[in-house]
Amino acid sequence: MSMEKSFFSIFKTFFKIGTLLLGGGYVILPLLTSELADKKGWLTADELCEYYAISTSLPGIVAANTAIFTGRKLLGTKGAIAAITGVTFPAFIIITLIASFLNEIVHFKSVNYIFWGVGIGVITLLFLAVKEMWEKCIVDKYSAFIFAGCLLLALSGKLSPAVIIILAVIVGLVYQFVQNKRIKND
Amino acid sequence: MIKIYLQLFIQFFGIGVFSFGGGYATLPFLYDIAEKFHWYSINQLTDMLAVSSVTPGPVGVNMATYAGFTTAGFLGAFTATFAIMLPSFIIVSAVFKILDKFKSNLYVQSVVKSLKPAGCALLAAVGIKLIFTSNLHLIGTLLLITFLISGFIKKHDPIFYLGGSAIAGLIIGHLRWIGV
């Protein structure tokens, strides 16, 4: 079943994906595959998989990157704009509604108790996310070294996260440069 | 008044350029902003994270919208969301044109290999800071340890931890075991 690729149909598809996305960017891939590959046949599952993989190696929000990639492939810049606004729109509306509501009720005692408790749930989620990332990216001595170095720098509190990221980029470039030299010398 | 939107734009554009690792990767930057600009408190930040984890939409987008809204209302939410997305738009569009070269470049691979552990470390640092800055008390610390052990044994849905901890907070608070 093939549907015409227009700004509006792309927006609508990504709007739907935006309402179904729950729990981080990782779930966008199965959603995209079901909507774009299986139902509409606009792209193949392999293409989507590739866009997702590259999106995780680029800065920014993974789901946003993947949406932009896919939209661009479908309909150029217009498609990219349709995809990114579509996937963001539901989140934007829901969050502004919740935020304005929560800001009204924070002075209730019970709400404060709940938030105190939820703070613990949040720290749990955070460490579970760290564990998941760790399993994927700490693969050798080099990545463990980068992790340890960045952790110490971040905990010292003297450098902003952006500066630490820039340092990691520089170390990555130098490391590759040294390896290239070594290969040439052998 | 225009100044706050401009500052929001610059800060969230920066997050879009430097955050790395998906999901909670924007958190270290939002934490940094809270410490430097005091647009929202650390407590508000954990509330935002909780809400963002259980509402539809990419967590990073949710957090940006929420933080922007808390800082400067609806227009603030729009500014932050737009600004965090703009670098993605530029970067992805550039990479799209040189996709094959980008993938096979050794320097790119090496930088990505450094950025992933770096993003992971930044997040771990925020987690550690939150443990020390949140007023956990003994009971909260025990609860956290219980949650972490259960999470390391078996993966649950975020709502399990957030719902569980919300109920626990309500009970513990009303029993006056903590002074919140």
The predicted structure's pLDDT at residue A127: 95
The interface predicted TM-score (ipTM) is: 0.90
CA distance A24 to chain B (A): 5
The reply to whether residue B162 touches residue A121, judged by beta carbons under 8 angstroms, is: yes
Asked whether the beta carbons of A154 and B129 are under 8 A apart, the reply is no
Each residue's pLDDT tens digit, B21-76: 877 899 999 999 999 999 999 999 999 999 998 899 999 999 999 999 999 999 99
Give the pair of three-digit tokens for residue B2: 């225009």
The predicted structure's pLDDT at residue B179: 63
Nearest residue, CB atoms, A95 vs list B18, B22, B65: B65
pLDDT in tens, chain A (186 residues): 456 889 999 999 999 999 998 765 567 889 999 999 999 999 999 999 999 989 989 999 999 999 999 999 999 999 999 999 999 999 999 999 999 998 888 788 898 899 999 999 999 999 998 998 899 889 999 999 999 999 999 999 889 999 999 999 999 999 999 999 998 887
The predicted structure's pLDDT at residue B172: 93
The predicted structure's pLDDT at residue A1: 45
Domain residue ranges of chain B, discontinuous segments joined by +? 2-134, 136-180
Nearest residue, CB atoms, A126 vs list B20, B103, B127: B127
pTM: 0.91
Tell me which DSSP letter residue B139 carries. Answer: H
Whole-angstrom distance, CA of residue A18 vs CA of residue A87: 4
Give me the mean pLDDT over the B122-149 stretch: 93
The predicted structure's pLDDT at residue A26: 66
Measured in degrees and rounded to the nearest 5, phi and psi for residue B142 equal -65, -40
Q: To the nearest 5 percent, what fractions of chain A are helix, strand and coil?
A: 85, 0, 15
Which of A61, A101, A135, A175 should be substituted to probe chain B, the one whose Cβ sees the most B Cβ atoms within 10 Å? A61
The predicted structure's pLDDT at residue B120: 94
**pLDDT top residue among B136 and B33:** B33
The predicted structure's pLDDT at residue B155: 84
Alpha-carbon Rg for chain A in angstroms: 21
